[in-house]
Structure 1
Amino acid sequence: MELDLEKRRGRSQQLVAGLRRAIESGRLLPGSRLPSTRGVAADLGLARGTVTSAYHRLIAEGYLESAQGSGTRVVVAPHGEARGRQPSSLHARSPWQWNLRPGLPDVTMFPRNAWVRSTQRVLRLAPAEALDYGDPRGRPELRQALADYLGRTRGVITQPERIIICHGFTQALGLIAAVLAEQGMDTVSVEDPCYPLFRNVIETAGLSVHPVGVDAQGLRPEALRGRAAVVTPIHQYPLGATLAPGRRKDLVAWAEEADAVIVEDDYDGEFQFGRQRVGALQALAPHRVIYAGTTSKTLAPGLRLAWLAVPAEWVERIATAKRVADQHSAALTQMVLADLLRSGGYDRHVRRCRERYRVRREQLSTALEREVPGAWLAGEEAGLHALVRWSPDGPGEREVTQAARRESLAVATLGGYWGTPGPHPPGLVVGYATPPQHGYAGALGALVRVLGRCFAA
């Protein structure tokens, strides 16, 4: 603020005018917290009473508000528009009463207490060098903990020096795609259907995407092209199939013959509900498979933590791309996750989530069988989502979406996942893990009502 502090008279009025200009010009936005009167007085060399008087004047004019314990905040929009608190679009409430969109865990289950305990241990014990720039592969504590965890729970064959920490799987895939392009590769095979963002990331790196069909046994290896493939073999997204043993072998044989690399996205492999769990594809060919895992489905996507277990010759290539992208991922967060893994807190949390999601999927299946006989669940009993299928003679996806909107239910149709033109069979990709526990019954009831009305029409 431009203040003429040489003049002893009118300092409070100058402060009022300066703050008013900052608010009306948009430099101070609604919700912004102002420094305390003591802090402003010390910074500007003013009497605290002068600052307090200015604040009180702006509160009276409606520019500011003050609340015990939360300080003084701006409540006027830029240019004097709409006096009073303006809701931020970044924190606006969802327009949907119920949310069954896939891709999210129940974030209310995040193990806050365990995370706090691990954070406190890390802050007490972390060496000073952890706060400096570090290895682009990630903190050694986390890479060691992950090597142990992945070998024990997913059957992954790796060592800490071959693990690279990333900001989520999207960044990891982007790094891999950039390296593939540098290696002169031009085509990447992906499952069809698949998560559309995967196709976008690959194409952004200048590579072509080749869709490969998926059936009840998973990806069809005979349709692969190029020298790279991105697959979800444990729980195909979004159809839910598990890659059959014979096709696993065919996929690895293709990689050997084509001198290709396989990117295994094990996004929800921890959540297999049957007694016999399937291990990672990577164990069949550690020299051909880049294994990817993430905390986005086990803990929360907001952590932005994922990892790659890569063949030895790929370590330096991807680490270099990571260094160029952002130097390295946040060190303290990595160390907290490492502590959570070592303490057993991560395993306990995963077991608790696995049981809860298993029950939710059973409830979904039972509700459909009882209330909507024209629809059924497809895919394996695993993961955080299930595919609801029905006959092509039944309602169209658009009809279901419109009915869901009237019920204030957020859903995802299967149509948006295909990379090839239709017609394709209809379906809903239901994220039964998404709602909080107290809201799941309501969301499930809304889904049954929507489908019941659509099938009765």
Structure 2
Amino acid sequence: MAFHQTNLAWATLLDIGGPGPAADGGGRAGLRERLTRALRTAIRDGRLAEGASVPPSRALAEQLGCSRWVVTEAYGQLVAEGYLSARTGSATRVSWSPESDPPRPDPRRALATPAIRYDIAPGLPDLRAFPRRRWAEAVRAVTGSAVHYDLGPPDPAGHGQLRATLAAYLRRSRGADLRTASVSVCAGVTDGLFRTCRTLRAEGITELAVEDPGWGRLRDAATSAGLRVHPVPVDDDGLRVDDLARTPARAVVVGAAHQFPTGTVLSPDRRAGLVRWAREVDGYVIEDDYDAEFRYDHRPVAVMQGMDARRVLLLGSVSKTLSPALGLGWLVAPAALAPALRAANPVAAAPPVLDQLALAAFIDRGWYDAHLRAARRRFRTRRDLLLTTLAGTLPAARVTGPAAGLHVLLHLPPGTDLPATVRAATSHGLRLTPLTAYTSHPTSAPTALVLGYGNLPDADVPAAIRLLRDALR
């Protein structure tokens, strides 16, 4: 059963209904698990015979409507479990059948995965600095004061107290133009985007533009909701609005205050041009305000949503300010979309009510602002240490995007073998993330690493950068 014989039937072969794995929610991890289960079941049932080749990861990803990462991770898991075998320069093949002995994990794979001592991949705040005592106090306070109807079925849009608190916070700290009714509580930015994309599709908008490079989970959320995604390049002024206008998209996701991963800030001209574009195409701008509170050269840039509350939706969360484990975020939508949001997401579930009330209390008591002030000081000091260490250890490399956020972009010297550098670093316990992980055209991406310093202790910065230097050598 070679791949060329089943090129058009893999969704049927794997018993994946609908348009493929991308129809499921839950982000890339959820899609990976679904595909892994489907392949494992097909092998166990004998529908994929021993010795059969599976499609190249890129080809299967295109067929199933998911990212290539989903397929490569699924293949890797099944290689580790003994169901597949992979050899360099050869197709990945089924290595087990129902008549075989139970599959045995490849010991070489287990031994080849070293312990990570220093993780400078982006995406996390300083988890050691989570305000445990005050958060626990907020939870205790709301647990004791919550009235009986607070403990009933939660409002899918979120508890009214947290929505009012978030509305006030976003107006005073982010320059948003909104009312409490415009705010919905969600499980984070990805959840908020998934809800938004389902709403847009119900409204007849099926084409969405995203920044390139950009955060892969946002693309996955869009495709999971059934939208067709169009990557649009980013330059030193942010998203290229002229390139956006040449796509069929009527909605776009943009990190206006701090683009990920380049760190650029959308210029004033581009902001105005983006709002004009949304009005001209009768579309929407979806603003990902994921870590804009961390600005080190001046006050954080206000959100675009304040420029046109009828055309700009705002997504945010506490994942970068407190912890992603809380699963608390918000979606601010134009009033005209509110009925469509409810209709398109009838089973949407808000986070646990007591957690919502705890966040409201945490903000209302001033603890959130105090936490952010302390975090900004801590991250500024850590960023300065990172920049100084990079300048002294890797003088030939160039850093961009250091003015805000929890990561920088490190441009490596021409001729650097980026995959070999990442492999060498991993073998010595240093996790690196290349810029190519976030681009739709990896072969044309700059030779750069995205260095996250949010969850890296100050004391570990010099050792981590020395390991990076050794990997480059």
Match of 2:360 in 1: 338
Write the distance in 2 (CA, Å) between the matches of 1:286 and 1:184.
Answer: 20
Write the distance in 2 (CA, Å) between the matches of 1:312 and 1:201.
Answer: 23
Q: How does 1:384-403 map to 2 (within 5 A)?
A: 384-391=406-413, 393-403=414-424
- Residues 1:239 and 2:257 aligned together: no
Match of 1:452 in 2: 469
- Residues 1:105 and 2:125 aligned together: yes
Shift of 1:276: 3.9
The secondary structure found in structure 1 opposite 2:199 is helix
| 1:338-374 Cα shifts (integer Å, max 9, x gaps) | 0001000011111111111111111111111111111
Write the distance in 2 (CA, Å) between the matches of 1:227 and 1:102.
Answer: 30
- Residues 1:286 and 2:309 aligned together: yes
Write the distance in 1 (CA, Å) between the matches of 2:370 and 2:132.
Answer: 13
- Percent identity over the alignment is 37
Match of 1:4 in 2: none
Shift of 1:299: 0.6
Match of 2:172 in 1: 152
Name structure 1 gaps, 5 residues minimum: 1-92
Q: How does 1:243-254 map to 2 (within 5 A)?
A: 243-254=266-277
Match of 2:351 in 1: 329
Match of 2:115 in 1: 95
Tell me if the contact between 1:365 and 1:376 (Cα under 8 Å) persists in the aligned partners: no
Q: How does 1:114-125 map to 2 (within 5 A)?
A: 114-125=134-145
Match of 1:310 in 2: 333
Match of 1:441 in 2: 459
Match of 1:178 in 2: 198
Q: 1:198 aligns with which of 208, 218, 222?
A: 218
Match of 2:440 in 1: 419
Tell me if the contact between 1:110 and 1:299 (Cα under 8 Å) persists in the aligned partners: yes
- Residues 1:260 and 2:277 aligned together: no
Q: Which moved more, 1:407-416 or 1:417-426?
A: 417-426
Match of 2:3 in 1: none
Q: What is the root-mean-square deviation of aligned Cα atoms in Å?
A: 1.6
Write the distance in 2 (CA, Å) between the matches of 1:233 and 1:96.
Answer: 33
Write the distance in 2 (CA, Å) between the matches of 1:94 and 1:183.
Answer: 48
Write the distance in 2 (CA, Å) between the matches of 1:258 and 1:305.
Answer: 32
Write the distance in 2 (CA, Å) between the matches of 1:94 and 1:278.
Answer: 41
Tell me if the contact between 1:404 and 1:447 (Cα under 8 Å) persists in the aligned partners: no
| Residue identity matched to 2:444 | P
Name structure 2 gaps, 5 residues minimum: 1-112
- Residues 1:371 and 2:388 aligned together: no
Match of 2:377 in 1: 355
Write the distance in 2 (CA, Å) between the matches of 1:380 and 1:367.
Answer: 14
Shift of 1:170: 1.2
Shift of 1:380: 4.4
The secondary structure found in structure 1 opposite 2:410 is strand
| Residue identity matched to 2:326 | L
| Residue identity matched to 1:231 | V
State TM-score, norm by structure 1: 0.76
Change (3 A) 1:204 1:184: same
Write the distance in 1 (CA, Å) between the matches of 2:355 and 2:340.
Answer: 24
Whose radius of gyration is greater, 1 or 2? 1
Match of 2:251 in 1: 228
The secondary structure found in structure 1 opposite 2:348 is helix
